[in-house]
Amino acid sequence: MKITPLQEARLKYEPKLPGMLRHGIKEIGVKEGEATESVADQEKIKELFPNTYGKKEITFEKGENTSASKKQVVGVILSGGQAPGGHNVICGLYDALKATDRNNVLYGFKGGPSGLLEDDYVEFDDEFIDAYRNTGGFDIIGSGRTKLETQEQFAVAAEVCRKHGITAIVIIGGDDSNTNAAVLAEYFAAHNTGVQVIGCPKTIDGDLKNEDIECSFGFDTATKTYSELIGNIERDANSAKKYWHFIKVMGRSASHVALECALETQPNICLISEEVSAKKMSLSQIADFIADSVANRAAKGMNFGVAIIPEGVVEFVPEFSSLIKEINELLAGEKAEQFNVLPSWKEKYAFIEKGLSKEAMEVFAILPESIQQQLFLERDPHGNVQVSLIESEKLFSALVKAKLDERKKNGTYKGKFSALHHFFGYEGRCAFPSNFDADYCYSLGYNAFMLIQYGYNGYLSKISNLSKPADQWVAGGMPITKMMNIERRHGEDKPVIRKALVELDGKPFRYFEANRDTWAVETCYTYPGAIQYYGPSEVCDLTTRTLALEKGL
């Protein structure tokens, strides 16, 4: 396979490790901290995880390695959506494993958790691993979204591990994947399998985050990639001076990506879903908010601008959420068949009008027809609206245009409004990892093996102090159960890792809030440019603005 000069250079990059992991394996000791408890629902979580609950947080430090010496056979799984740096987690895991004992073995299960259930794997060696160092993507073994959650699956996983003499499984994934890791760890402990489970925090959405996990891997690279593109569009908008660009970015459950991109690029508008929910904003109010920026800029002769829209914002609009619930009820069971056989949109519209409440129909009626139809096209396996497929960037530009047309009629707006639309999602998930993510991910993998070597089970690999240079990072581990609470999922109470939403009283949002009124009217664009891999540390090892603000930098 032909490789580019950049890829060839990146293959040779040597990731930086936290100071305490730079000592030889034999000089890495462990310090245990306080016992932990779950973030909420302590009694219920403790009851569900009697063998792995309440364990102590640990930190690695320079000292004598007191772990028991034994051959380790480790399996690794990539789970869920891709995130830059996943390959380096595996590389760090492999290097630590081999540095401890060349006879140790690392298996990669293909296609996500299903690879473990189907016993579909590859055994890594130096040549295999060396071809993927510091590269983006999950193509080293592929990923998947199969959930490990039933007793039957756990029994199959245990048998596959027994067959290969596997001593530990490392699951690289987001909140759902690491919830599955915790449940699998509990099963293995309860059945005395001798197999440990370690998780690694991954998601570009940034919502696997708490007082212990400062940042999930991939967030840095993905937001830098999107910010480069947004900055390019801002410069084009400021050059052509005739378009408003509506840009949707990933983040269905939380707006961390949108907020970070706004902090990096200073657009005229950035919606924050959590604020929309807190203020109970309607679609009309949001449209007016954006239209005010358009009108104020037009009054200064600037008929152009940039608006960032989080992928899941419509789900945070109370009236829209109510509409979705009514639509799901409207098309439940046999009603879906009755609706689908109607030959024209006019007849379907009449069916909808008859079935929705007056309040829901008022919301439905103001939507552009294309969005109305999207709500009734593709359904998820449970028959519900797939909200993530709604083109919210087009929805809001259409609503804004309608508002501006009204203002033109009453003489309060005389500008021009031409909208262009973009969605930045997959462009960032498999980008070449930034130096930060290359270093962070390699450290997570290396650290994961140290947790295995010391016999920990049901722990998340944890690297902290991330706003400092890598040699000051702190390596350790925390019980996954510490992050868990009980939530209602599909009609049942389930133990899950709590998602971290944007904190409206947090420093990143407060900084954005203090500046956005100026950005809305003036042209204050900043242009981050491409990710830099070589050069001064202050350019190449930059952390995210979110993390810098959180740490007071």
Whole-angstrom Cα distance, residue 501 to residue 497?
Answer: 13
Write the DSSP string, 109-177: ETTTHHHHHTT-EEE--HHHHHTTTT--SSTTT--B-----SHHHHHHHHHHHHHHT--EEEEEE-HHH
Give the DSSP H or E segment for 77.
strand 73-78
Distances (CA, A) of 335 to 3, 129, 229: 54, 53, 44
Q: List the one residue out of 234, 298, 303 whose CA is nearest residue 265.
A: 234
Residue matched to tokens 């500046």: 515
Q: What gap in Å lies between CA 55 and CA 173, rounded to an integer?
A: 21
Radius of gyration from C-alpha coordinates of the chain? 25
Cβ partners under 8 Å of residue 261, min gap 6: 223, 226, 227, 230, 249, 267, 270, 308
Q: Are strands 105-109 and 121-123 parallel, antiparallel or unpaired?
A: antiparallel
487 to 126, 174, 381, 498: CA distances (angstroms): 43, 17, 21, 9
Q: Report CA-CA distances (Å) from 353 to 281, 402, 445.
A: 24, 22, 55
> Which residue among 175, 205, 220, 437 is the active-site one?
205
Residue 205 appears among annotated catalytic residues = yes
Q: How many CB atoms sit inside 10 A of residue 319's CB?
A: 16
d(CA 239, CA 230): 14
The span from the CA of 312 to the CA of 519, in Å, is 23
| Active centre residues (catalytic) | 205
